[in-house]
A and B are shown apart, each in its own frame.
Chain A
Amino acid sequence: MNVVEASGLGKRYGRTWALRECTLEIPAGRVAALVGPNGAGKTTLLNLAVGLTAPSAGAVAVLGGRRAGSPAALDGIAFVAQDTPLYKNLSVADMISVTRSLNRRFDQPYARARLEELGIAPKRKAGKLSGGQQAQLALTLALARRPWLLVLDEPVAALDPVARHDFMATVLAAASADGVSVLLSSHVLTELERVAGYLVLMSRGRVQLAGEVDNLLAAHGQASLEELALHYLRETTPEVTR
């Protein structure tokens, strides 16, 4: 099964195409990384996949052929948006209650246990938590929904190194222990080195390269993901080389 299938997918804002002619299949059971510089179209592709945005061209299906944004798609995908938006004036307990009410499945014991582990008291207001704790709260709420696909948009961009490590550890645990498919975007390549099994390289609104990380490394004769990405982005992005 593919968690995301796009064919000829495009999104235009006004006269600019944020994403063009995107055709790809992201297989289930992996951590898939969407990599590219700012403005490459990563967020647009993720918004299309979670159904927040409607395509201007082409189509995108998720979870093995469900229309993005359809009830079954919403049911099976948990999305943590950039800067992990939470209701800042609600307490942690209220955020749990709200997320539980809004979803078919919600593993409340998991959410409670995980937050206790993280030392996040249920009475605290979400807006009063540190950046790392807010990210962990958003991730915990997303995982407690027991999704088949977890979508994370720049999850660690605003976090300090320790919070980054802890966050990615939680994601990896969910991916390996529970078999949750993960699709995450990042412009921080080093974080992805250890986690990504599938890579989608984007620049200037287009998918430049997509495939299993091991195969890509072998085919392009590069030693690491970072080298591969840099090499490829230099080749395809004239601005960088000039």
Chain B
Amino acid sequence: MTALTLTRPGGDDARLRPLPWRRMAGVTWRQHRIALAGVAVLLSALAAYLWIAGLPLHHAYDAAVACHPASSAACQGLDSALDGMDNFLSNGFLLQVLPVVIGAFVGAPVLARELETGTFRFAWTQGFGRWRWALAKLVLLAVVVTAAAGAFGALLTWYYQPFLSDQSYLGLPKTTPFAPALFDLRGVGFPAWTLAAFAIAALAGMLIRRVVPAIATALVVYAGLAVATGGFLRARYLAPLLTANFSNVPGNAWIVSQWWIKDGRVAFGDYPPASILNQFCPAPPAGKGGPSEGWGPCLVQHGYTMVTSYQPTSRFWTFQWIEGGWLLALSALLIGATIWLVQRRAA
């Protein structure tokens, strides 16, 4: 062992250059490689499946779109070839859990495991420094999971594209790109939600100090946020367009709401009250209603007009960036709060 001198302990704080950030790359990798490998395996398996299912789908779709004239027998045949090319992932519901699964399983243990096992007393007394350790780890892991989700999101954007065509003659189920189960899987939505899930889980881990309850809490908070966003917030990013002529609404626009007016005043919402139906249309033809079917045409004759508020498909990317933007800001805020808690938490 070499002898040590006691005369120069460390030097002044001001002269002491902080350790380089890159040192945390190896530390983070060693501690989180199992979780990251799990994410890689999960995303690779799903990507392989979507690629294998997506290639014939896109070939058939491209052939059907390129076919002219659309009414010819040959084109009808190409359309019907698309029937049944959807699968259990096509409606997007199952993949909705993916961002929170990735985010929670990588994010929750970052601090919760240290606090649960007591290793924070090792990590926070090393020369690297406590808040820098937390910042490096959280930012590095956030970037890695967001990048992985971004790559997977690009594949999802490609895979779902045939389902979102406004060419309604295609045999595929026709869907608006704003559909709650699809909007956040495509574009910047998927990586942004994954990042938000990671940040929520990291903060939950810091507050709860146990891995499993932190994961459970992150799932609940994430689900609440996703439902509130899909059901309420997203429709309000920009004021919806209004039209009194339903045939003006493009095929795959997002219908936000519909109501009926008469003499410039709102008469009723989706469905007429019994008093109005009895008065004007006692025996309406069958149909679910609307300006051209069921009780609709009858009420139109009596001076009622249906108003539709909708978000046109041209706003898709604007909405994507708005959602990505606020999710990024929220994630940065949550990660900042987590680091602040790490620095001020008493052992």
Contacts and interface: CB of A to CB of B under 8 A. Distances in A.
A145 B9 CA distance: 13
Interface stretch (A100-108, A159-167, A219-227, A230-238): A100-108
The secondary-structure label for the interface of chain B is: loop
B11 A102 contact: no
Nearest to B124: A52
Contacts of B128: 74, 101-103
A26 interface: no
A198 interface: no
Interface stretch (A80-88, A188-196, A206-214): A80-88
Interface stretch (B114-122, B303-311, B318-326): B114-122
B1 A179 contact: no
A85 B117 contact: yes
A75 interface: yes
B127 A85 contact: no
B9 A94 contact: no
B3 A178 contact: yes
A174 interface: yes
A47 interface: yes
A53 interface: yes
A52 B121 contact: yes
B9 A104 contact: no
A129 to B, nearest CB: 15
Contact of A83 (B2, B24, B118): B118
A77 to B, nearest CB: 7
A148 B3 contact: no
Contacts of B1: 110, 173-174, 177-178
B4 A179 contact: yes
A72 B12 contact: yes
B125 interface: yes
B163 interface: no
Contacts of B9: 1, 63-64, 66, 72, 76, 148
A146 interface: yes
Q: Which of B24, B129, B344 has the most CB of A within 10 A?
A: B129
Interface in B239-289: none
Contacts of B6: 1, 28-29, 148, 179, 181
Contacts of B3: 177-179
A73 interface: yes
A51 interface: yes
Interface stretch (B15-23, B39-47, B97-105, B291-299): B15-23
Contact of A74 (B23, B121, B126): B126
Given A63-B9, A101-B26, A79 B19 contact: no
A97 B31 CA distance: 11
A70 interface: yes
B94 interface: no
A71 B6 CA distance: 17
A180 interface: yes
A72 B10 contact: yes
A23 interface: no
Contacts of A83: 118
A102 B10 contact: no
A140 B347 CA distance: 23
A183 interface: no
B347 to A, nearest CB: 4
A71 to B, nearest CB: 5
The 7 A-B pairs of least Cβ separation, nearest first, read A52-B347, A102-B126, A81-B121, A72-B10, A103-B127, A85-B118, A63-B9
Interface of B: 1-6, 9-13, 16, 18-19, 23-24, 26-27, 30-31, 34, 117-130, 133, 344, 346-347
Given A74-B128, A85-B120, A86-B119, 4 more contacts: A28-B6, A101-B23, A103-B127, A180-B4
19 contacts: A28-B6, A52-B346, A71-B16, A72-B11, A74-B125, A75-B10, A79-B122, A85-B118, A85-B122, A87-B31, A101-B23, A101-B27, A101-B128, A102-B126, A110-B1, A146-B4, A148-B4, A174-B1, A179-B5
Interface of A: 1, 13, 28-29, 47, 50-54, 63-64, 66-67, 69-79, 81, 83, 85-90, 94, 97-99, 101-105, 107, 110, 138, 145-146, 148, 173-174, 177-181
